DNA sequence: AGATGGGGAATCCCCTAGA
DNA sequence: AGATGGGGAATCCCCTAGA
């Protein structure tokens, strides 16, 4: 399986070799790659990769929105067997096809040929489609072909489809990250104003989640409105109150950025809550 | 004269009518426009506007980098006279010509015709030129033509050139602005860490200037490195010490963002310096 | 000289709001 | 229905750094 987040799709103009798509279990020092294995078979086989939409992976798309880029052999297939039937794709790139060039490639549908279907109207259609499709999420589709008696790879097996891959450059799928905060502690009563610097977020699809890992799973959310999100890169918010105002000593909790829609979140930061004395914050 | 900053150049694809270039003395409720007047003459005349480079306004450029857009009459000239010789241009737009289309328009120089001067090499040249020219700064060039005895406007006067106009969308010429700070006071000794949210800045060409308007003109600069500039939209810095550590009561000074190269600055924000007690900050 | 990222500029698209 | 901005997405360009 490929890693779902953190990989950036590239445009053709950016050139090749910005690194290949890593596997889900890939790490800094031990890179892995998307890999498929043909089971219950001995012999030669060929495995091909294609990119498909994440919502409807088995439908064939009329337009090519992406291209796979295999820097090693220029094509997107590998031959395996006869003993090891494992195909590993170590240098898969995902190329964005621009809306402009996608509309170039389009064939005119027959039933509209009598209309004046201009370049720009096709382009517009491409954009409409892009809106409902989310071109920033793809899946890999692997199709294996077994060798037939003539030596040709004609016996196609049922394709398998990977999990979804999100373009890390896309604003709704980029890696969430908290870079810096002006305070890392506040009072148990909440209401402390915090300036938080972060990687790109979308002001209507972001929340700041405070939580405790153990015991019952307390969670609460930072208080801010979309206008408190500054240019997608900073958030000014107020801390929420802790579940209990009566604590004897400081309590350490966590906070993280979290997308409302996709549900993915950033690495957490620690935050320390101090007791308040008679409802008033104590200096700390 | 046109207003130098705050006007955004547009691309053709953005469509017309995003507002005309205002005059230097233009205000919210009393808009003015770039205007020229022909002196010492009575009679009909025609005034034409062109865009020229800011460094070399009277040289003719080989390539058109910009286009003027006059939404009112489609052309960039107005006729005036015989009594009022004032030409006012109330709806001047400045259109960016993309590097791609600029390279399309280029004629091949004769002496390189035997070389294989491809489209892409012209494009590359356009980009090189763009680097040294700064296409985000232009001037208006007004040329007046007096009516000759046949009624034609043939008698050209010496052109006049306006001050420079900076594209407000360009990162090195956009309006500087401080949106928010997490503190507006600190101690006279400096060293207080401030989170400041701002409009787009460039991390290597920005400074935070503290100053006092009256008496001697004290100034000092916030302490930060380029890595403290977060994604062009926030700066974490430490306040500088005041010129005197011995103050009895709080002193209010100003701070502003300032570009090192261009020297332009943002509107100031107030900042209050509190006395320190025996070298230690006093709680405030 | 390619494997490996990442920041940010140039270009483009589309929103809001009031009469 | 145009005068009037402005935010941010999609596309593109080019940097750094280590062997």
Strands A207-211 and A251-258: antiparallel
- The pLDDT assigned to B74 comes to 42
What three-state secondary structure class fits B251?
A: strand
Residues B191 and B153 in one domain: no
Quickly give B229 CA vs D17 C1' distance in Å. 22
B174, B181, B186, B197: best mutation site toward chain A, by most A Cβ within 10 Å?
B197
Q: Which nucleotide is nearest to B130 (CA to C1')?
A: C10
| Dist. CA A153–CA A144, nearest whole Å | 9
Q: Do the chains contact at A197 and B236, CB–CB below 8 Å?
A: yes
Residues A143 and A207 in one domain: no
Residues A22 and A151 in one domain: yes
Which of A105, A131, A166 is the C-terminal boundary of a domain? A166
| Residue B206 scores a pLDDT above 90 | yes
Which among B233, B236, B283 has the least Cβ separation from residue A230?
B233
User: Is A171 among the domain residues?
Assistant: no
Read out DSSP for B89-118? Answer: -TTEEEEEPPHHHHHHHPPPPGGGTTS---
Q: Which two tokens stand for residue B216?
A: 């001697």
Residues B18 and B159 in one domain: yes
| Residue A65 scores a pLDDT above 70 | no
Nearest to A197 by CA among B247, B160, B270, B180: B180
Cβ-based neighbours of B284, under 8 Å, separated by 6 or more: B185, B274
Which among A179, A193, A283 has the least Cβ separation from residue B230?
A179
CATH of residue A233's domain is 2.60.40.10
Residues A101 and A62 in one domain: yes
- The pLDDT assigned to A211 comes to 96
Residue A202 backbone phi and psi in degrees, to 5: -110, 130
Q: What is the pTM of this model?
A: 0.83
Q: For residue B230, what are the CA distances in angstroms to A1, A180, A202?
A: 34, 9, 17
User: Is B6 among the domain residues?
Assistant: no
Residues A49 and A157 in one domain: yes
Quickly give A71 CA vs C3 C1' distance in Å. 11
Residues A250 and A156 in one domain: no
Question: A198 pairs with which residues across the strands?
Answer: A178
What's the burial of A85, exposed, middle or buried (CB within 10 Å: 0-12/13-18/19+)? buried
The residue whose two tokens read 């109330």 is B90
Which of B121, B145, B166 is the C-terminal boundary of a domain? B166
Which of B166, B195, B227 is the C-terminal boundary of a domain? B166
| Dist. CA A202–CA A120, nearest whole Å | 30
Q: Do the chains contact at A236 and B199, CB–CB below 8 Å?
A: no
Domain span including residue A17: 12-166
Give the number of domains in chain B: 2
Instruction: For residues B180-208, give the mean pLDDT.
Output: 94
How confident is the prediction for chain A on average, in pLDDT? 82
| pLDDT digit string, tens, across residues B136-184 | 888 888 889 999 899 899 999 999 999 999 999 999 889 999 999 999 9
Residues B39 and B85 in one domain: yes
| Dist. CA B284–CA B275, nearest whole Å | 10
User: Is A112 among the domain residues?
Assistant: yes
Nearest to B65 by CA among B94, B24, B90, B88: B94
Residues B16 and B84 in one domain: yes
Residues B139 and B199 in one domain: no
Reported as a pLDDT band with limits 50, 70 and 90, residue A109 is: very low
| Dist. CA A189–CA A202, nearest whole Å | 28
User: Is B230 among the domain residues?
Assistant: yes
Residue B51 backbone phi and psi in degrees, to 5: -105, 135
Nearest chain B residue to A199 by CA: give it.
B231
User: Is A214 among the domain residues?
Assistant: yes
| CA distance, residue B231 to nearest chain A CA (Å) | 7
User: Is A280 among the domain residues?
Assistant: no
| Dist. CA A197–CA A204, nearest whole Å | 17
| Residue B58 scores a pLDDT above 70 | no
Q: Do the chains contact at A231 and B200, CB–CB below 8 Å?
A: yes
DSSP structural state of residue A222: -
Lowest mean pLDDT among A147-161, A229-243, B111-125, B248-262: B111-125
Q: Which nucleotide is nearest to B202 (CA to C1')?
A: C8
User: Is B215 among the domain residues?
Assistant: yes
Contact positions of strand D to protein Cβ (< 7 A):
2-6, 8-14
Nucleotide C1's nearest residue (CA vs C1') is A17
Nearest chain B residue to A181 by CA: give it.
B195
Reported as a pLDDT band with limits 50, 70 and 90, residue B124 is: low
Residues B236 and B264 in one domain: yes
Residues A97 and A44 in one domain: yes
DSSP structural state of residue B19: -
| Residue B211 scores a pLDDT above 90 | yes
Contact positions of strand C to protein Cβ (< 7 A):
2-6, 8-14
Question: The dihedral of CA A213, A215, A216, A220: what is its sign?
Answer: negative
Instruction: For residues B272-279, give the mean pLDDT.
Output: 81
User: Is B279 among the domain residues?
Assistant: no
- The pLDDT assigned to B73 comes to 41
- The pLDDT assigned to B190 comes to 94
HEC string of A25-57?
CCCCCCCCCCEEECCCCCCCEEEEEEEEECCCC
| pLDDT digit string, tens, across residues A2-58 | 888 889 998 888 887 788 888 888 877 788 888 899 999 999 999 988 888 887 766
Strands B77-80 and B185-187: unpaired
Quickly give B230 CA vs D6 C1' distance in Å. 22
| Residue B272 scores a pLDDT above 90 | yes
How confident is the prediction for chain B on average, in pLDDT? 82
| Residue A112 scores a pLDDT above 60 | no
Q: Which nucleotide is nearest to A130 (CA to C1')?
A: D10
What three-state secondary structure class fits A23?
A: strand
CATH of residue A149's domain is 2.60.40.340
- The pLDDT assigned to A123 comes to 55
Q: For residue A172, what are the CA distances in angstroms to A97, A167, A259?
A: 19, 9, 8
> How open is the CA angle B236-B237-B240, to the nearest 5 degrees?
165
């Amino acid at each position: 399986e490929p890693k779902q987040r953190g990989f950036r799709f590239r445009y053709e103009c950016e050139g090749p070799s910005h690194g290949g798509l890593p596997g889900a279990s890939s790490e800094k020092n031990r890179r892995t790659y998307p890999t498929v294995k043909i089971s219950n078979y001995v012999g030669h086989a060929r495995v091909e990769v294609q990119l498909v939409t994440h919502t409807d992976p088995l439908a064939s798309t009329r337009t090519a929105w992406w291209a796979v880029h295999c820097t090693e052999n220029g094509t997107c297939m590998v031959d395996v067997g006869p003993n090891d039937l494992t195909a590993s794709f170590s240098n898969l790139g995902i190329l964005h096809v621009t809306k402009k060039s996608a509309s170039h490639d389009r064939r005119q549908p027959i039933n509209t040929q009598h209309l004046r279907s201009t370049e720009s109207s096709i382009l517009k259609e491409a954009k409409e489609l892009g809106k409902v499709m989310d071109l920033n999420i793809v899946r890999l589709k692997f199709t294996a072909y077994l060798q037939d008696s003539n030596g040709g790879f004609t016996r196609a097996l049922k394709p398998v489809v990977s999990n979804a891959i999100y373009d890390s450059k896309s604003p709704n799928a980029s890696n969430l990250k908290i870079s810096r905060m002006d305070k890392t502690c506040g009072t148990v009563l909440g209401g402390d104003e915090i300036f938080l610097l972060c990687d790109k977020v979308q002001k209507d699809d972001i929340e700041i989640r405070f939580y405790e890992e153990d015991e019952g799973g307390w969670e609460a959310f930072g208080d801010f409105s979309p206008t408190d999100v500054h240019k997608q890169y900073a958030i000014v918010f107020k801390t929420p109150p802790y579940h209990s105002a009566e604590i004897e000593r400081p309590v350490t909790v966590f906070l993280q950025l979290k997308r409302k829609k996709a549900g993915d979140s950033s690495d957490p930061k620690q935050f320390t809550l101090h007791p308040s004395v008679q409802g008033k914050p104590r200096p700390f």
